[in-house]
Structure 1
Amino acid sequence: MSDNNYGTIVKDGLWEQNVVFAQMLALCPTMAVTTSGTNGLGMGLATTAVLVVSNILVSIIRKTVSDQVRIPVFVVLIATLVTIVDLAMNAWVHELYKVLGLFIALIVVNCAILGRAEAYAVKNGVLASAVDGLAMGIGFTGALTLIGLVREFLGSGTLFAQASQLLGPAFAFLEVQVPGYGGALLMILPPGGFAVLGFMLAGKRIIDQKLAARAQAAATPATA
């Protein structure tokens, strides 16, 4: 892929190669932390930070690290970044940190991060790698937040509960309580997570098929 083809990079990260909905990676944190939109957003932002910085650093050192040791070097690099993010969240968003818990540290074994380092950053320049990491991270964050919002709404009758603890008091307006609806507990339990993910995967598949059919129809010359 050309380093300058940023439109394709962004499209792949957000939709075509979305970490959750297309590549089916990072399903462990996806199922575990998406009991609310706020939790999904927090995990997504933390992962995005690691993705962007790791892609940049891997791209910088790609010509100085030999093939024999590059995977261990990349793992150590990603582990260092995850440790920094873990300590930062513990210091500044401690309430969310207590909810996400172990899954912050497990970002280091997220296949998407090492996968982008190995599949893209090690082969491309710094700017393109940064854009790739940002696009993949935003796509991942969007998937987690969307799943979390659906599960939270159906399971608790709220939207973006405790968002002010993550984003600051200015974002308290995002916190919504649906009057008169107590929620269905099943949706914030693991079966509810799998059900929501399954419906969303089916929806993406339907959209992809319709887009492909529309593109094929547009490419077919009109006949008399």
Structure 2
Amino acid sequence: MTNEYKELTLQGLWKNNPAIVQLLGLCPLLAVSGTVVNALGLGIATTLVLLGSNITVSLVRNIVPNEIRIPIFVMVIASFVTVIELLMHAFTFGLYQVLGIFIPLIVTNCAIIGRAEAYASKHSVKFAAYDGLMMGTGFTLILVLLGATREILGLGTLFSGAELLLGNWASDLTIVVYQTDANFLLAILPPGAFLGLGFIIAAKNIIDQVIKDRTQVKDKKVVQRARVTGTDI
């Protein structure tokens, strides 16, 4: 059981991250990652939908006919998106206005439908819930990283607009990294999102290659030592 949770954690946060490995749900990721607050808001909403839909799909997996499972999954996801949308409308209306159409578009996020079909429909509730939590967390981390990068480069700030998510008291959380008379438009506009995501994917690939090379070198040394020991015997 511990190994299963460990594998789900690695899959969601790194090995099979929906944003930089599966490359799913890129439309909202690229569109609303202009600031950390926008990215965090969408990431939390997506994680909650993933968590709720995975749990529900796992609960009904044995009673849903195989022929209509996809429409049922979409209805479940749409229900949770509607709940999240109404809650944001009630408690974080400013952020709801900023995110706009990208909240209801969570319904069509392939990452959510994919996890419902590929994992939640085949596993127990506890594993399905943890899978949804890890996948959502991995997606949110990439969103926040991209949002922080674009906000710092484009606006020179960090946590700008925090009051939209956390309330008026959070207006003092804004950090001014540097001041400029002209914003770096490339980082703010959509092309900056594509470039930023590309650099993040490239960095992950480099890290994976370094880890792979070190593992191969370590395994090679172990094999050589084993051969020497066998010869001596």
Residue identity over aligned pairs, in percent, reads 49
Structure 1 segments of 4+ aligned residues over 4 angstroms from their partners: 169-173
Tell me the equivalent position of 1:34: 33
Tell me the equivalent position of 2:92: 93
Residues 1:120 and 2:142 are matched in the alignment: no
Question: Is the CA contact (8 Å cut-off) linking 2:12 and 2:135 kept in structure 1?
Answer: yes
Tell me the equivalent position of 1:12: 11
Q: Secondary structure at the match of 2:66?
A: coil
| Structure-2 separation of matches of 1:208 and 1:4 | 21
Write the deviation string for residues 44-83 of structure 1: whole angstroms up to 9, x where unpaired.
Answer: 0000000001000000000010101111111111111101
Question: Is the CA contact (8 Å cut-off) linking 2:157 and 2:178 kept in structure 1?
Answer: no
Larger Rg: 2
- Cα drift, residue 26 of structure 1: 0.7
RMSD: 1.6
Tell me the equivalent position of 2:48: 49
Identify if the C-alpha distance between structure 1 residues 4 and 66 changes in structure 2 by more than 3 Å, giving closer, same or farther: farther
Residues 1:23 and 2:22 are matched in the alignment: yes
- Any unmatched runs of 5+ in structure 2? 226-233
Tell me the equivalent position of 1:200: 200
Residues 1:166 and 2:135 are matched in the alignment: no
Tell me the equivalent position of 1:185: 185
Tell me the equivalent position of 2:231: none
Question: Is the CA contact (8 Å cut-off) linking 1:151 and 1:188 kept in structure 2?
Answer: yes
| Structure-1 separation of matches of 2:3 and 2:123 | 10
More helix by percentage: 2
- Cα drift, residue 214 of structure 1: 1.4
| Structure-2 separation of matches of 1:142 and 1:203 | 15
The alignment covers a number of residue pairs equal to 223
